[in-house]
Amino acid sequence: MSWLEALSNGIERFAESDRAVGDALSRRKWLLAGAAAALGTATKSKAAPPVSHTRWLINRITMGWTPEEQLLADTLGYHGYLEYHLNYTAIDDSALNARLAPYWLLNAPPYYLHGFNASIPTNQLCQATFLRATYSKRQLFERMVEFWTDHLNIDIKKADNPWIKLVDDREVIRTHALGNFRDLIIASARSPSMLEYLDNADSVVGNPNENYARELMELHTMGVSGGYTQQDVVEVARAFTGWTVDQTDTQTKSTFRFDALAHDTGSKVVLGQTIPAGGGYGDAIQVIDIIMAHPSTANFIARKLCERFYSYSPPQSLINSVGATFTATNGDIKSMLRTLFLNANPATAPVKLKRPFHLVISALRAAKANVGGSPEALTTQLRQQLQAAGHEPFQWGTPDGYPDKLEHWSGLVIARWNFAAALMKDSIADITTDVEILLAGAVTADQVADKINEVICGGTLTAVERNRIRDYLSPGIPTKAKKAEAVALAISAPSFQWY
């Protein structure tokens, strides 16, 4: 199914839902007409006016366009702006760090986390995720954190993960998000969070558990069609026996431990290569090195990066270029992204639908929302908004991670609209907006519509969408409440939903 067909089907489902509950929400009626209008021109205009190459790059490597980000991109140019974000450690993020300072558990060791009710570290991780995505100046880094969190998915509800997923986020995902892929995979394999999630903590000689071995090849590296066999899964599982988690009630609780007595010391054959007997801990490292060198791994990771950052169906030539860089650099993530964006053609790149988390964060950034709260009084309503949209962080149960497929997300628009309305009504706890500051200088309906298009959408609203906002604001001089509702309409409009 094409993205156009999926959107058409989605709009019809939304219309049916709207008819079922009546016409109480005029916003829905307004937007259904707007979505239909956008759909009618999408094949020619991508549902919005053309954007510059720097604007396209901002859309792809940040969590949401802002005028400040556009100024920076235009000042540095396409290549300079890309390098600015790739060199993320040079970006001053002290303002974000100040916001995160009260979150005392973010840097705590695992044993310390176990001293709290499970909801406390979970909430602190979720709240920090919102703050980082919204306020960090290291936007490409945050996009890659999101990408690898999906790629190496862990359900926070399983086993000890309400406590220790926070450690995985810190020591695996965030440590290696723009580093080396091999290092990332080794860190993930050693992560107590992953060891418990995929049951390798209980894998012992004579009774190896195949869950992690299978997902290592199918989801983390080679792909389901990568060329491995069931026997390879068995041999990899044997290599990872004894990779477990310390369960003592000491300061080493919930840290990685290699149990030599639980390890299968015999020789193994993985993807046609023999791992000699007696290798101990090193057996699994050899497995990872064998997998890293396999061409399926380069192709699989290249394809996933191109699908996330270019289009749902990227050209094979782009995948090949990124895959060649993977091979040439032994999995350097920055180099792969550089190849992707320097070989991508923004002028012909198809649009993608923002997943709910992306939409929410882009709206917070565009509306210059103040996300407050404290570790003691955390924003749970924002999590509830994302739960309603099917995209609450760290809550995907299966190892494949939240999908990046249009068909999965195109039927959940009402939750998006409800979020936009709640945001601009200041009815989400600990989140406030100031529409008068946001739209400063705009008085008439036409001025307000133009200002919304400028500061919220960066000039990408279609003429139909812009005029519908103006008509909603008319007649007379719009009130503050009406302006806020109009911003919610812009956030709900088709052009803001796509990037």
Position with higher pLDDT, 138 vs 9: 138
Alpha helices in 216-355 (DSSP H): 230-239, 282-293, 295-309, 316-329, 333-343
Largest CA distance in the chain: 83
- pLDDT for residue 436 is more than 60: yes
Measure CA 362 to chain center. 12
- pLDDT for residue 365 is more than 70: yes
Cβ neighbours for 288, distance < 8 A, ≥ 6 positions apart: 182, 185, 186, 189
pLDDT for the residue numbered 380: 81
pLDDT for the residue numbered 378: 55
pLDDT for the residue numbered 376: 64
Average pLDDT, the chain: 91
Question: Can you say whether the dihedral through the CA atoms of 309, 83, 293, 171 is positive or negative?
Answer: negative
Assign 375 a pLDDT band (cuts: 50, 70, 90). Answer: confident
pLDDT in tens, 214-227: 999 999 999 999 99
Residue type, 388: A
Range 22-56 burial, b when 16+ CB lie within 10 A, else e: eeeeebbebbbebbbbbbeebeeebbbeebebbbb
Alpha carbon distance 245, 64 (integer Å): 38
Mapped onto helix, strand or coil, the DSSP state of residue 233 is: helix
Token readout for 216 is: 């290592």
Alpha carbon distance 173, 188 (integer Å): 8
CA dihedral angle for residue 84, residue 90, residue 95, residue 97, rounded to 10 degrees: 120
- pLDDT for residue 10 is more than 50: no
Nearest to 439 by CA among 431, 428, 450, 429: 450
Strand (E) positions, 65-173? none
First to last CA, the chain: 20
Token readout for 472 is: 């909603």
- pLDDT for residue 267 is more than 90: yes
- pLDDT for residue 424 is more than 50: yes
Name the percent of the chain lying above pLDDT 90: 87
Question: Can you say whether the dihedral through the CA atoms of 389, 122, 176, 371 is positive or negative?
Answer: positive
- pLDDT for residue 366 is more than 50: yes
Question: Can you say whether the dihedral through the CA atoms of 111, 115, 117, 120 is positive or negative?
Answer: negative
pLDDT in tens, 462-492: 999 999 999 999 999 999 999 999 999 999 9
Question: Residue 386 in contact with residue 137, Cβ under 8 Å?
Answer: no
Specify the pTM.
0.92
